[in-house]
Amino acid sequence: MNRFRTTIVTTATAAVIAAGAGLAGFGGPGSAAAAGDPFVGMQVLDMLCASKGGMSYDTPYTISRCQAARDNDGFEIERLVCEGLLEATFTSVATVGRPHRVNWFCIPGATG
Give the per-residue pLDDT at 27: 41
Report pTM.
0.67
Query: What crossing angle do the helices spanning 38-51 and 3-23 adopt, rounded to 10°?
Result: 160
The rounded percent of the chain whose pLDDT value lies above 90 is: 47
Q: Is the pLDDT of residue 107 over 60?
A: yes
B/e letters for 62-77, b = 16+ CB within 10 Å, e = fewer, are: bbbbbbbbebeeebeb
pLDDT at 36 over 80: no
H/E element, 34: none
Residues 40-52 pLDDT 10s: 889 999 999 999 9
φ, ψ of residue 104 to 5 degrees: the values are -130, 160
CB 42 within 8 A of CB 60: no
